Each structure stands twice: as structure tokens, then as C-alpha cells.
Structure 1
């Protein structure tokens, strides 16, 4: 009889305002019956899941399951790769229980039940992982992401939401958009996209590995997690009216036809900017430009 892979489950009980804890209570018996080797770790604070990822890489775990939003697997993956590529392959299973849960939408796993079914079926998919380096406190930081990187405007909106508007729930994000737009756009970015140079002003962009962000926003409709490339969506030379018009179309993915939206795909990207721009990856605030990015094709096996 085949043995069960050594499995760690990382639970973020605060994901989705307690949604993670409720979901885990409902699924625990089913998972426990099917996965005899499962050990549960509870992520109590920001960065805790990173430590569990590092533990999994060091101690021979073969499978890590994440119960939370997009930020929980972000921490786990960065823990797995904290000392470089893990010595043995570690499968990642993601069970959505947060507010966004964007990445799994590419695999039609919107509910925790759908995700658990896919995990228990044992189906593995190799997906691309994106390596980035950026500035934080005058130091160069290397990290990895699965879903999306926001440069400038998108990261600013997240920062406003987290610092001032979290108590407003989903309305807080919309309020943050309006507050940020009141400041207008005033920047200059110099991009190198697979060796080709591009300079843009009064702009923002996202660099996506998958199609969705913020739950149902189809920010990069052409993105494919298995094509060895990231998709850039550039909001070029936009004013407040442009941004509002673009955001009104993003849930259907039709914003890419807007005349001030440019799209392309790449394997390697560098960005320098004046002033420095704030960065966000998978819902987590990071640091500042300059940024270097490269795709690691088929780097990570996920259960989906």
C-alpha cells in the first residue's frame, strides 16, 4: 500500500474575518480520514506561515496545505525557498478561506470544498513561480510570488486600505481607490521587458502570473500559470477619469481594450522609477523599486 506523503497543514484562523477557522472546522474530519500523516500548524501573526514553510523545507515534508487567503501561500512559498530551492519537491495545496482567493480561480476552485476534492484526488500541476528582487530599508530583498505583482497605484490602494479603511470591509477598497486618485499620477518608469526598453509616465502596472486578483477581478485575461511567462498590464499616461473607466471594466477583463492599457508578456522584467514606487505581491506590501523579475518555469507543483 502506498504511504501517505508527510503533510503539514497551515491554518490562518483570521483569514476572511474568521472564515478560515470556520472552513477548517468543517473540513478537518474529512482531511483527517484521508490524510493520516497530517500535522496542523496555526499561523497566529504576519510572517508565521513563512516560518512553517521554512520548517517544511528543512524537515522533509512532502506536502504543505494552506487554509487561508492569497497571503498565506505567499508566506509559505517564501519560507520553502528561504534557503534556496528545497532539496526535495514539496507539493502545495491551497484551500481558499480568505477574502480574495484569486490564484485558484484559474483552476475553477472557488470554494474550499472544490479545493479539498482536487487535493484528495492527488492531481498535480506544475506552475510557474516568479522570482523578484526589490528594495526595502536600503537593502536588496529576494522573494517569490504566484499570483500578481502591483507597481505603484495598485500597491498604494492596498496600503491605504490596510492602514485607514480595513474596518469598512469591501467598501474600504473602493474608498481607497477614490482617495488615491485624488492625488493624481506623477511618475516616470523605465522598463526593460525581455531586453526591450520602454519608458512610461503617469502610469501604473501589474505583472500577473494568473488571471485574477481581488477575488473576481480578471486583471490579466490572457495570463497562463503554465506558459513560462508573466503578463504585464500597463495603465499608461492615465488620469483619474481613465482609471475609473478602466476599473469599471476589470471584472469582465474588457479593460485591456481601453486605449490607455497596454499588454505584453515576458520572461524577465526590470523596472526603475522616479520617484520610487511601492510594490505589492499576492496582497502583501513589499518594498520599493527598482525591481528585477524573472519567471521560473514549471517550478512548483500544486494540487489543483
Structure 2
């Protein structure tokens, strides 16, 4: 195997990224992987490192972190690829959620992920693009959640000592009593919906938040965005709905609309809060435009 670039986020997984480095090196060496490892030093640094690695000719560029690290690496790769196919992306999941890794079938354990990196296959998946108000567009690989999911991420970023479901589930329960349902206009295909919405999830993958199957039938290579639209409901109804997001059965709830599209616009006179791949996208947006870019990213998995 030619040399690969590893981009390690030391603060991923509430510091697990840094703690995993010795074992990461040991497992990669055991698989005879020739690698160059760089450590991120500031937010957005993985974008720069991925761009440089792609420009330097590395054929496989690995995000060693959580979904936020993968998000940054994907944005770096897409910036270099232009209108072509980006990658190849590798993922070693050492973050809080690691939902994209789950979507493409990468083992959650460090040893298994390193083995898959050494011996796996390459598949091509879709990438999504989102433009917030008048800002430049950015890419995401898994989900953007507008409303409730954005507020959950905002609250989760305040917690520094746990990761995975131990982090997200308590924060979800807390957020139920903090969240509001902004008035939203949701336009896709020939549909235009207008009502107070608890959340709208725009998904390329099935899972977010380390175990919530918000779009359980989403496929990352079908050329479509999956939408999960949840109308405003009461606090107790929201509490009852939480476990249904953990097994995907919420899709049958009367307040939930599931659909697929290639483009969608979400707008509101109220402030919209959203995350992209588990990192804050916006806190006071009024218009978000999404589109799917089919078959644009090579992934080692």
C-alpha cells in the first residue's frame, strides 16, 4: 500500500483521540500500513490538512476522530476535487458519535478500523451541499438537523467528560424542555409545507447522535436526500417519541413526515439552529438550501 495520510483530532471523543494515538500507531504498524500522521491544532485545521494531503498526492486520507473530523476532511477533499470525485477518504472512529463510519460499515473499535483501512474495499458515496443564508456553501456527509437536533448539539458541546449515547441521550432529554418549534417553510419537489416544526433532518445516512436512527432507510449512495420532518408536539409527546428514534419506529408517528428529494429549502422568520455532522452549522439562520451531489466521494471501508 502507498503511504496514507492520517489526520488525528486529539480532542475528538472528549480527548479519546489523543489517548488513542499510541494504540493507533501500534495497530497500523501491525497491519504494515505506511502512514504519515498529522495532528489537528485548531477548529477547521483538518480541512487545511486534507487539502494539503490531496495536493501532495496522498491517495488515501484518513479522518481519525469523530463525525466533525470526518466532516472537515470531506470539505478539504471536496475543495480539491472541484467537480470531480473526491477522496479516497478513510475513517478511524475515535469520536463521540462516529455515525458516518457506522453508515459505511467501518468497525467501531480501533483495531478493527485499522484492519479495515489496510484490507478494505473502496465504494463511492454521495455528498450533500448546504448554503446558509448568504454564506458560501459547505459539504456534509451524514446529516444536518435543523431545530431540535441543532439544539441538542449546542447543549452537547458543553459536556466535556463523556461520549457516545452516554453523552447524547441525557442531553436529548434535557433539550426537550429547552426547545421551541420555529415557524418553518419547507420546499421540496412540488411540495411546500408551512407550520411550526420541532425539527427537520436532512440525511444522507441513517443514524445521528451516536444511536438515533432519524432516517432509518437512508442510503449514502442512492442520489437522494432523506427528510425527516417533525411537526410541533407537546413535551410529553416528545419524551414518548425519543425511544422510537432509537429503533426507527418514529417513522409511523402521525407528527412525522418521511420523504426523499434531491433539493430542499428550509426558511423561517425565526432564528434557526442546526448542526452539520454533529458540529454547529448555525444558530440564527433564516434560509438553508440543500442539494445532493451523487457519487462524489470515494471511501475506504
TM-score, length of structure 2 as denominator length: 0.90
**1 CA distance for matches of 2:85 and 2:178?**
48
**1 CA distance for matches of 2:249 and 2:276?**
23
**2 CA distance for matches of 1:239 and 1:251?**
19
Tell me if the contact between 2:168 and 2:209 (Cα under 8 Å) persists in the aligned partners. no
1:274 alignment partner, one of 269, 278, 282? 269
CA offset at residue 63 of structure 1? 1.2
TM-score, length of structure 1 as denominator length: 0.89
1:193 paired with 2:188, answer yes
Describe the shift of the 1:222–1:64 C-alpha distance in structure 2 as closer, same or farther (beyond 3 A).
Answer: same
CA offset at residue 180 of structure 1? 3.4
Gaps of 5+ in 2: none
1:204 alignment partner, one of 192, 199, 206? 199
1:224-252 residue CA offsets vs partner (Å, 9 max, x unmatched): 01111111111113221221111122111
Describe the shift of the 1:88–1:228 C-alpha distance in structure 2 as closer, same or farther (beyond 3 A).
Answer: closer
Tell me if the contact between 1:238 and 1:260 (Cα under 8 Å) persists in the aligned partners. yes
CA offset at residue 174 of structure 1? 4.5
Matched ranges for 1:210-221 at <5 A:
210-221=205-216
CA offset at residue 73 of structure 1? 0.9
2:17 alignment partner in structure 1: 20
**1 CA distance for matches of 2:251 and 2:111?**
32
Deviates more, 1:235-244 or 1:86-95: 86-95
Tell me if the contact between 2:14 and 2:161 (Cα under 8 Å) persists in the aligned partners. no
CA offset at residue 83 of structure 1? 5.5
Tell me if the contact between 1:62 and 1:89 (Cα under 8 Å) persists in the aligned partners. no
Tell me if the contact between 1:184 and 1:239 (Cα under 8 Å) persists in the aligned partners. no
**2 CA distance for matches of 1:125 and 1:15?**
25
CA offset at residue 117 of structure 1? 2.1
1:117 alignment partner in structure 2: 115
2:141 alignment partner, one of 118, 141, 146? 146
Matched ranges for 1:26-41 at <5 A:
26-32=23-29, 34-36=32-34, 38-41=35-38
Tell me if the contact between 2:85 and 2:296 (Cα under 8 Å) persists in the aligned partners. no
2:61 alignment partner, one of 61, 64, 67? 64
Gaps of 5+ in 1: none
Tell me if the contact between 1:92 and 1:301 (Cα under 8 Å) persists in the aligned partners. yes
Deviates more, 1:8-17 or 1:176-185: 176-185
1:227 alignment partner in structure 2: 222
2:130 alignment partner in structure 1: 132
**1 CA distance for matches of 2:86 and 2:172?**
40
**2 CA distance for matches of 1:123 and 1:84?**
21
CA offset at residue 78 of structure 1? 1.1
2:290 alignment partner, one of 262, 272, 293? 293
**2 CA distance for matches of 1:179 and 1:215?**
17
**2 CA distance for matches of 1:88 and 1:302?**
11
Deviates more, 1:167-176 or 1:95-104: 167-176
Tell me if the contact between 2:126 and 2:220 (Cα under 8 Å) persists in the aligned partners. yes
**2 CA distance for matches of 1:45 and 1:219?**
30
